[in-house]
Amino acid sequence: MKQILVVDLYLNQKHKVNFKKLVVRTKEAGAEVATADYQTLAKLDPLTASCSGMILSGTEALFTRTADRNQFESLIQCLPKIRIPILGICGGHQALAIAHGGSVAKIGRHIQGYRTVELEDKDTLLAGLPARIRVMQSHYEEVKQLPPKFVRIARSEDTDNEAMKHEESPLYGVQFHPERWNQENLAGKKILENFIEKIAL
């Protein structure tokens, strides 16, 4: 069974339930899980090297807020050095974009609830899914400018860059929360399974 390193980007204790949910759902998708937080990730080279892939969680932090952004500087600096496949989720997607030269901007409202996302590229991460999926959203910001060598693979009426991938490396980001799937909306489960089965080493 592949081991996935799930990295906690939540700042406040009251949001840790969201991280625990991601850990549980990653296990349900077929992986063993190791955990770390955004502050210690740069110190975990041996652990990182032993894992098949990495998932960056969401966060309540806002990257357009200087005080929040500053807390993630060590994470942003270390992400380009990591050589295992990465899936960034919501805030993790935004952190991955910033780390590779992209930008994040405010949307102006809270995008929340199950909403429709249009898939533009049935890449490995999105394999086996219909052209339109329903996934859970919860964000105030979005990746405004994709980093160099990244391409958009999904969009929605609310968010232009709902999902991205690197053209050469196994790096992926999704603005939505695939771990918050339910029996009526199973696309998120499929996305986690695809990352673990098809992309992780």
Alpha-helix residue ranges (DSSP H) falling in 79-147: 91-99
Q: Is 78 a catalytic residue?
A: no
Query: Within 13 Å and on the Cβ side, how many CA atoms surround 2?
Result: 26
Q: Catalytic: which of 141, 142, 162, 179? A: 179
Q: Among this protein's residues, is 162 annotated catalytic?
A: no
The confidence score (pLDDT) of residue 10 equals 97
CATH of the domain at 123: 3.40.50.880
| Per-residue CA distances from 125 to 12, 145, 166, 190, 198 (Å) | 30, 21, 12, 9, 8
Confidence of residue 38 (pLDDT cuts 50, 70, 90): very high
Domain count, the chain: 1
Which residue of the set 93, 100, 166, 177 is catalytic?
177
Q: Give the mean pLDDT of the chain.
A: 96
Out of 51, 90, 93, 142, pick the active-site residue: 90
For this structure, is 51 an active site residue? no
| Residue 120 lies in domain | 3-199
Pairing verdict, β 171-174 and 86-89: parallel
Residue 94 has pLDDT above 90, yes or no: yes
Q: For 19-33, how does the pLDDT look when each residue is reduced to its tens digit (9 = 90+)? A: 999 999 999 999 999
Confidence of residue 46 (pLDDT cuts 50, 70, 90): low
